[in-house]
Amino acid sequence: MARSRTRRKPMSEINMVPFIDIMMVMLVAFMVSAPMLTQGVKVELPKATSKPMPLPDDAKTLIISVQSDGKYFIDLGGNQESARGLDEISDKVGKVLSASPDTQVLIKGDRKVDYGAVVELMARLQGAGVHDVGLITDPSSLDEGVKR
């Protein structure tokens, strides 16, 4: 009794089911983690009664945050970077402005930060070629300003 062995033909198709499963898991993971990535640096902004500054729709913004302990952070289009020194900040801003001169530079300083730290940052930015600097504040009503 001889058994005949039939050879299986090699399969030349790719099974897409595991690939689709992995892509669905990755999609859910990115959807859950994306809102957490845009939070930025925790800064308690001072309150001020001023009108919002109009920005063009296509304008790029470069935000430099100063925490209450004097650490500087730079954020260009949601790419938050770690704490930097003033020399690194001025170099980075100079490079960004040389590549894209219409970039709007904003400072987001904590209300408890030393005034000298913000002034020194503004002087370094001016040395890097920044002509106009905006200061970010929390909106405040006129009533709150009168109470203080």
Q: Is residue 122 part of a domain?
A: yes
Comparing CA positions, the residue from 87, 107, 88, 101 lying closest to residue 129 is 101
Q: Is residue 12 part of a domain?
A: no
Write the pLDDT tens digit of every residue in 7-50: 777 777 888 888 999 999 999 998 887 766 655 556 565 666 66
Query: In this structure, what CATH number is given to the domain that contains residue 99?
Result: 3.30.420.270
| CB atoms inside a 10 Å sphere around CB 121 | 20
In total, how many domains does the chain have? 1
Look up the pTM and report it: 0.56
Give the structural domain span for 134.
47-146
Q: Is residue 71 part of a domain?
A: yes
How many Å apart are CA 128 and CA 98, to the nearest integer?
10
